Amino acid sequence: MVDFLIKVFIKNSDNIREAKVREKHGLLAAILGVFSNLFLVLIKVAIGLFSNSLSIVADGFNNLSDMVSSVVSLVSFKLAGKPADRNHPFGHGRMEYVAALLVSFFVVVVGYEIIKQAIDSIIDPRELSFSPVIVVILVISMVIKLWQMLMYKKVGGKIASDTLLATAIDSRNDVLVTAGTLVGILIFYFFKVNVDGIISLLIGLFILYSGIGLGREVISTLIGRSLDREEADRIKAEVLKFKGILGVHDIISHTYGPSYSMVSLHAEVSDKVPISVSHELVDKIEYEVGKLLGILLVIHMDPVTVDDPRLNQLKERVTSFLEAKDVDFSGHDFRLVDGRESINFIFDLEVPHSFDEVEKDLIERELKDLVKSIDARYNLVINIEYSFIE
């Protein structure tokens, strides 16, 4: 059904790198969530009032809060889809992260309320009532909420939306709550044992845990999560396809929403090639790779020496040493500065964040011994920096 609606209402639906197409996916999912939750509110409140069941009425108002989450998603996609303006030159895509944070807050509140009510129920158990009408309503609610979860997860995964994926978790939690309520009622009906409070407590703890985890993920993105290794490798591979690029390093990404990122990197070019030629090449790469990957690409050009046998020997020996030490080590910007009595061998070493100061001092001493063993005149000047890649 979801695939059918996407094909009907969204033109070029597979082109999710297009901001407007992605926005329409989000709006469609949010609208489906609003109307399906509204249906649950109306049917539960009506049948609850008709059967004099306060539990069904209460569950109906719980779905009203779910409808609010869907409205938050709807508004966030409209705001995130606003074009860049004078005060926000990178667009408004981060509004999706703010919305996902709000949804995670709703999940935490629901978990807290369920835990509080469960503790009260364990201390002072309430009499449970059984009715075929209640069972039917709960089953219908579970089916619709399960459909919602799969719909949000499908669309959210397709367009990489934290908001929709958060709402999918919220729908999954509703399925668990309703299933727990149903199991508690059936156990009481058949075995006369009231485990409603215990089941609710376990579900509440799980929901609270998932809400906190979801919030941490969104906050991590908002404060500046490191670039994914797979994505960094793809960017590097695309840049290295261009003849004249000798190496790529210092890849940094700043995310301004799921569909827009600014990426900067250093590209090594031969110092024998005229700077105007290399600059033209870099401009071409920025445009073509940026368009291909849907990013704003900014490249810093690093001229490197390619025909100095001394430098090539040092680079080869140091690179082999680093690879043997740790695959996450990366050396770049190798250069030699000649002096009368000493020769400065300079390069940058990129290390993972797990590397502490003691290890940094140790690797620096080992590298100094290595270059001295090649030629006593070599003086190592090394800049150790942390990687921006996950």
Q: What is the 3-state secondary structure (H, E, C) of the chain?
A: CHHHHHHHHCCCCCCCCCHHHHHHHHHHHHHHHHHHHHHHHHHHHHHHHHHCCHHHHHHHHHHHHHHHHHHHHHHHHHHHCCCCCCCCCCCCCCHHHHHHHHHHHHHHHHHHHHHHHHHHHHHCCCCCCCCHHHHHHHHHHHHHHHHHHHHHHHHHHHHCCHHHHHHHHHHHHHHHHHHHHHHHHHHHHHHCCCCHHHHHHHHHHHHHHHHHHHHHHHHHHHHHCCECHHHHHHHHHHHHCCCCCCEEEEEEEEECCCCCEEEEEEEEEECCCCHHHHHHHHHHHHHHHHHHHCCEEEEEEEEECCCCHHHHHHHHHHHHHHHHHCCCCEEEEEEEEECCCCEEEEEEEEECCCCCHHHHHHHHHHHHHHHHHHCCCEEEEEEEEECCEC
Q: How much is the average pLDDT of 339-346?
A: 89
pLDDT band per the 50, 70, 90 thresholds, residue 163: confident
Query: How sure is the predictor about 57, in pLDDT bands with cuts at 50, 70 and 90?
Result: low
For residues 322-340, one letter each, b for 16 or more C-beta atoms within 10 angstroms of the residue's C-beta and e for the rest, the string is beeeeeebbbbbbbbeeee
- Closest Cα partner for 163 from 29, 64, 35? 29
pLDDT of amino acid 47 = 75
Are the CB atoms for 169 and 106 separated by under 8 Å? no
Measured CA to CA, the distance from residue 60 to residue 301 in angstroms comes to: 61
pLDDT band at 59 (very low <50, low <70, confident <90, very high): low
Predicted confidence at residue 318, as pLDDT, reads 92
Strands of 330-338's sheet in order across: 330-338, 343-351, 378-386
Section 255-269 average pLDDT: 90
CB 264 within 8 A of CB 300: yes
What digits encode the pLDDT tens for the residues 130-146?
778 778 888 988 999 99
Q: What is the mean pLDDT of residues 300-325?
A: 91
List, in order, residues 6 or more apart from 116 with CB less than 8 Å away: none
**pLDDT tier, 341 (very low <50, low <70, confident <90, very high otherwise):** confident
Return phi, psi of residue 127, to 5°.
-70, 130
Give the bridge partners for 348, in sequence order: 332, 383
Question: Locate tokens 């071409």: which residue?
Answer: 284
Instruction: Give the relative orientation of helices 95-123 and 196-224 as an angle to the nearest 10 degrees.
Output: 160
Phi-psi domain of 257 (left: phi exceeds 0; alpha: psi -120 through 50; beta: other): left
Rounded distance, CA 40 to CA 142, Å? Answer: 10
pLDDT of residue 55: 56
pLDDT of residue 304: 92
Q: Would you tell me which CATH number, out of the four given (2.60.40.10, 3.40.50.720, 3.40.190.10, 3.30.70.1350), belongs to the domain 229-386?
A: 3.30.70.1350
pLDDT digits (tens, 9 = 90+) for 174-199: 888 888 878 888 888 888 888 878 88
Flag whether pLDDT at 106 surpasses 80: yes
Measured distance CA(259)–CA(255) in Å, rounded: 9
Least confident of 54-58, 101-105, 110-114, 366-370: 54-58
Mean pLDDT of 293-309: 92
Q: How confident is the model at residue 53 (pLDDT cuts 50, 70, 90)?
A: low
Tokens encoding 257: 């929403």
| Region 2-224: CATH code | 1.20.1510.10
Instruction: Give pLDDT tens digits for 194-220.
Output: 887 888 888 889 888 988 998 998 898
Please state whether beta strands 343-351 and 330-338 pair in parallel, antiparallel, or not at all (unpaired): antiparallel
Show me where the domains of the chain are located: 2-224, 229-386
Percent of the chain with pLDDT over 90: 39
Helix 132-159 to helix 19-51 angle (10° resolution) is 170
Q: Residue 327 above 70 pLDDT?
A: no
The pLDDT assigned to 365 comes to: 92
Short-list 48, 32, 74, CA closest to 171 = 32
CA 214 to CA 162: how far, in whole Å?
9
End-to-end Cα separation, the chain, in angstroms: 37
Mean pLDDT score, 30-46: 88
Q: Which residues on adjacent β-strands are paired with residue 331?
A: 349
CA nearest to 167, candidates 180, 154, 177: 154
